[in-house]
Chains A and B, each alone.
Chain A
Amino acid sequence: VKKLIREPLIHFVLLGGALFGVYFFMHRGDSVATPQDIVVTSGQIQTLAIGFTRVWQRPPTDVELKGLIDNYIKEEILAREAVKLGLDQNDSVIRRRLQQKMDFVAEEFVDGREPTDAELADYLAKHPGRFAEDRRFTFRQIFLDRQKRGDHLDADAAALLTKLKEQPSREIESLGDPLLLPQECADAPQRDVAAQFGQAFAASLSELAVAQWSGPVESGYGVHLVLLARRTDGKVPPLDEVRDQVKRDLVDARRAEANQRFFDSLLAKYHVTVQGVTPPAATTERKVAMN
């Protein structure tokens, strides 16, 4: 026994035990002191093994599986400790990841049903502009070069316009100044007119009277006198022709709507104050868009 009393290991154990006792009493009821359970369930082990198999195209060996489990335990402990130390606070990467996870949660609220024909038809009817063909124009144009005509441009344009109005069907090839663009466009969609003559010119075609010479109309090149022969509004195609597109749009719209609803329900739990930017009256009304 004497020998035992002299044994340093015993001192160590006793001392350690005493310290632990003191610590235990001081922290009684504090969960930090009690060892926590980490149970690696067979389900979790299976998940680890499946993840490994997906990457390596074979199941892990026993040694590899033990490694995976050890890693998992290590990760679990460090993650828990990190949270206790508050390392997850104010970390933009973690916050963004959490936000991303909430996006997945929001997905749960999306109406995942396959849209019915009636729903698709209804959506098409409510958003015809999104699926309509482009407006089309049939026109002739005579170009007048500002660089070439300088101060005479306006007078030249007015004189030519008068002449054309008197004799609308005359040959135009020799009139005005040359330009690499066509003098005549047949049933051209608005986007193609825009691509060649510029958006402003294409937009002004919608303002012109049909079947008469008008102008001058501005483009990026100079001015044009235009005979608009025909303007055709784009038809809304029947559902069968645009079914896939309508479906994509409808599903997207449902998702966006569900996400917004989900977020609004969360937002309602908060009173948001933005200092110094928004007037106080507006803060409670603040609308925050999801994504």
Chain B
Amino acid sequence: MIALYVGCFTLASLASAQTTTDAGLLDEATAKQVFPTKPPYSPYAGHNFPTRPFFGDTHVHTSFSLDAGAFGCRLGPRDAYRFARGEELTASSGQPAKLSRPLDFLVVSDHSDGFGFFPQLMSGDPALLATPQGHRWYNQIKSGQGGLAAMDIVTSFGKNHLPEGFPLPGTPAYRSAWMEVIKAADEANDPGKFTAFIGYEWTSNDKGNNLHRNVIFRDSGAKASLIEPYTTLPPLGSPNPRDLWKWMGMCEEKTGAQVLAIAHNGNLSNGRMFPIIESFTGKKIDKEYAENRTRWEPLYEITQIKGDSETHPLLSPNDEFANFERWDKANLDLTELKKPEMLEFEYARAALRNGLLLETELGVNPYKFGFIGSTDSHTALATADDDNFFGKVSGSEPSPTRALKPFIKSDKAVIMSWEETASGYAAVWATENTREALFDAMKRRETYATTGPRMVVRFFGGFDFDAADANTRMPAIAGYTKGVPMGGDLHAAPQGKSPTFLVAALKDPIGANIDRIQVIKGWLDKDGKTQERIFDVAVSGGRKIDAEGRCKTEVGNSVDVPNATYTNTIGAGELITVWKDPAFDPALRAFYYVRVIEIPTPRWTAYDAKYFGLTLPKEVPMTTTERAYTSPIWYTP
């Protein structure tokens, strides 16, 4: 880590380094000549705050997940960690794969239901093959129709219609699979360099509606092995998140480990991810629900391969960037089509708004979550870059035909593979790259989501930021000393003051420039109705922000689609500003989060078309606008 905060850049450390320099010795005399003989240069010295974000993926499936295995994934948890660390691997489709640069952390999150099912099925287990389903899946996979089997497994799973002999917690097959997962994480974990979290996905698919959560352990296998993951199949498990939270409480009590859960793909939950009326009881959510949700679920996965869950054009008609990588045809297994009235209860921005409302009624805000992005890759490969995208499942690893294959199909709808989104990663502002530091940063929501690019995004809120804070070379110092970082809280505005925000974004060192930084505000108005408004706070290229706080001039487009290239001739490498809420009412609850928009770049489909020499149909988008979403800062009167 670039250890500015430890303040070790002193003459003493320079002088003591004579044994190890490889190009000339730096003695004290030279050092004095080169560096001023003053207290440590570094103003960070003495501050213990995060100086760089760590990038990772909290959501990768391997062959240990029954559907991933059926889809053809042959790489296990060990491979997933190796790949994330930057090693070159052979993907399940037989082609070499490597990340542009290593990730800092990874969670292997295989489905807890049926851990070890796939190895059992593939070994031709007689009991499993004696069931009609087991028999059918085995034959489908053996005859190269793994995709069919996988969809059938997912669908059967959604209907809780699984064969006898399916491995359940408590059986030896289940135990040994869980121990393998733990061992792979503990082996790959390398404090200070790479963090390998132990985790799993609790895949609640009630009636085909996606209520999935990833559960992450702060601790090592010594504690995680004292328990087995929670599943969704009754009687051992349950599809109701309340039961997951109970299990999490029990887990912490029993093992002394700390755990948190991250929900994802509300966009495929058909209005059930952020309920006001609980789907399981038909009753309004209560204080107990709110307390548990906010305690156990500090983060939400807002972007991933199965689409973006920030907001929807019907919910945010004034948001030009809302129509981004939409998956809004139906629920996860396409058994129930989407209705407009469902949207409010499945997109993150609407949930943040409803959270303010519920807080006034329940005393607790159930939807007080920060943001991360992750891939939900089922290939063991955490790829989120458009020029290096290995798809959702092994069947959609790069090939000339992948874009035009259906990803999932039912009698009601079809989602094509070209609709997969090359996204995203989780950025965590932690003081060091360890399980403990990253987990704690996730708990305090000091995180943001990106759709792939490793942008650096800062966001601080307070009442005393002024323009000069944006002009210092170390805005983070002002940020942490005068305000709170993303994920934090502002209370009781001083008389006559409005919240001010220090906002900065730096492009990915090997990525595209930035178009603009926006602040998205949501609030509960005087009449108890929730509202939202978008402000452009910093824009590139000297464009004007109008009196309404908007910049209606587009940044332009430098994408050459046939060649799948772009140039950084538009946009800015870095944008920074201090912004003050021009319409603040100290009596009203509000939240603010930042959205950073990149200039247009080629979408993975354009890279495919170029590489394989394809002409893709008109409906396939060939450019994208990558982005980052920070965790909100909340204002509570």
Contacts and interface: CB of A to CB of B under 8 A. Distances in A.
Contact of A179 (B2, B36, B142, B506): B506
Contact of A220 (B36, B127, B144, B511): B511
Interface stretch (B371-379, B385-393, B570-578): B570-578
Interface in B493-516: 504, 506-511
Contacts, number: 142
Nearest to A175: B473
A221 B574 contact: yes
Contacts of B454: 195
A61 B507 CA distance: 67
Interface in A230-257: 230-233, 235, 244, 248
B34 A168 contact: yes
Contact of A178 (B41, B101, B473, B509): B473
Contact of A188 (B2, B30, B458): B2
Interface string B1-42: 111101011000110010011111010001101111000011
Contacts of B574: 178-180, 221
Contacts of B143: 93
Given A219-B509, A220-B510, A222-B573, A184 B33 contact: no
Given A220-B507, A229-B14, A180 B165 contact: no
B2 A192 contact: yes
B41 A210 contact: no
B504 A210 contact: no
Nearest to A174: B473
Contacts of A173: 473
A196 interface: yes
Contacts of B31: 229
B126 interface: yes
Interface residues of A, number: 56
B126 A231 contact: no
Nearest to A219: B509
A211 B29 CA distance: 12
Interface residues of B, number: 61
Nearest to B433: A192
Contacts of A219: 509
A56 B164 CA distance: 9
A57 B170 CA distance: 11
A233 B22 contact: yes
Nearest to B21: A230
Contacts of A68: 126
A210 B475 contact: no
Interface string B501-539: 000101111110000000000000000000000000000
A179 B456 CA distance: 11
Nearest to A177: B574
Contacts of A183: 473
Contact of A52 (B44, B126, B144, B171): B126
Given A55-B125, A194-B101, A211-B34, A181 B14 contact: no
B519 to A, nearest CB: 18
Contacts of B458: 180
Given A180-B458, A188-B1, A168 B33 contact: yes
B125 A195 contact: no
A180 B460 CA distance: 14
Contact of A191 (B41, B165, B193): B193
B171 A229 contact: no
Given A55-B127, A178-B576, A193-B2, A138 B22 contact: no
B172 interface: yes
A212 to B, nearest CB: 8
A227 B22 CA distance: 16
15 contacts: A51-B126, A147-B572, A171-B36, A173-B473, A180-B458, A182-B2, A184-B4, A185-B4, A186-B6, A187-B9, A195-B101, A229-B14, A230-B26, A233-B22, A248-B187
Interface of A: 48, 51-52, 54-57, 68, 71, 92-93, 138, 145, 147, 168-169, 171, 173, 178-189, 191-199, 201, 209-211, 219-222, 227, 229-233, 235, 244, 248
A-B pairs with lowest CB-CB distance, top 7: A198-B509, A186-B9, A220-B509, A55-B127, A180-B506, A188-B2, A210-B23
